[in-house]
Amino acid sequence: MAWLVAGLGNPGARYARTRHNLGRLVVESMAEEAGERLRKVRFLPIERAEVAIGDERVTLAISTGYMNESGPSYASLAKKLEVDVDRVVAVHDELDVAKGTLRLKTGGSTAGHNGLRSLERALRSREFHRIRIGIGRPPGRQDPADFVLAQTGTREQEDLLASAAHAADAVRALILDGVSVAKERYNNTGPGG
């Protein structure tokens, strides 16, 4: 049985260094680490790379469309590859998780995350896995949308890269060891934790 890891984010240079692109960053780095290149999927607004994690076949995917409308792309790819909903992993930023920490969960609410909402609608199920990468709440009265889409400076970008590497390890643990072990090992931890 195959797995699908969906890195939620937005395409293009304008969004590349934003907090909202953490999921996409995780998938891109996992593909690069495996020596694979993300390639365009015919007839779908999506790029994918095939990798092995242990004995498991894993498709790493990023949408070439905007996150809020990406659910149908991922759902179509899952259907095409015959990946069951319980083997779909959405990796994404999360305002309601402390900056630099992770939270793994299966199912549940989208907590207002429009990328998750789109994916849930398209899959017609909430029962997919989520790797939630904490970015914390915006400072002061800053609009959350402005906060997640703001370009980050060099120092914060380094922190985001470390969080992405930590999240990639959590994805591998989820696939290899199961959700319970991965939760125990990674929930509420950050890089080096």
Annotated active-site positions, please?
Answer: 20
Q: Is residue 58 part of a domain?
A: yes
Q: Is residue 26 part of a domain?
A: yes
Q: Is residue 192 part of a domain?
A: no
Pairing verdict, β 2-7 and 56-63 = parallel
Per-residue pLDDT tens for 12-52?
Answer: 999 999 999 999 999 999 999 999 999 999 999 999 999 99
Q: Is residue 83 part of a domain?
A: yes
Per-residue pLDDT tens for 152-180?
Answer: 989 999 999 999 999 999 999 999 999 99
pLDDT of residue 193: 66
Q: Is residue 191 part of a domain?
A: no
Residue 13 to residues 10, 16, 28, 61, Cα–Cα distance (Å): 9, 5, 14, 18
What CATH number has the domain bearing residue 150?
Answer: 3.40.50.1470
Q: Is residue 179 part of a domain?
A: yes
Number of domains observed in the structure of the chain: 1
Give yes or no for residue 191 having a pLDDT over 90: no
Q: Is residue 193 part of a domain?
A: no
State the residue range of the domain holding 72: 2-186
- Angle at which helices 22-33 and 154-177 cross, to 10°: 70
Per-residue pLDDT tens for 51-101?
Answer: 999 999 999 999 999 999 999 999 999 999 999 999 999 999 999 999 999
Residue entry with tokens 């260094």: 17
Q: Is residue 131 part of a domain?
A: yes
The count of residues in the chain is: 193
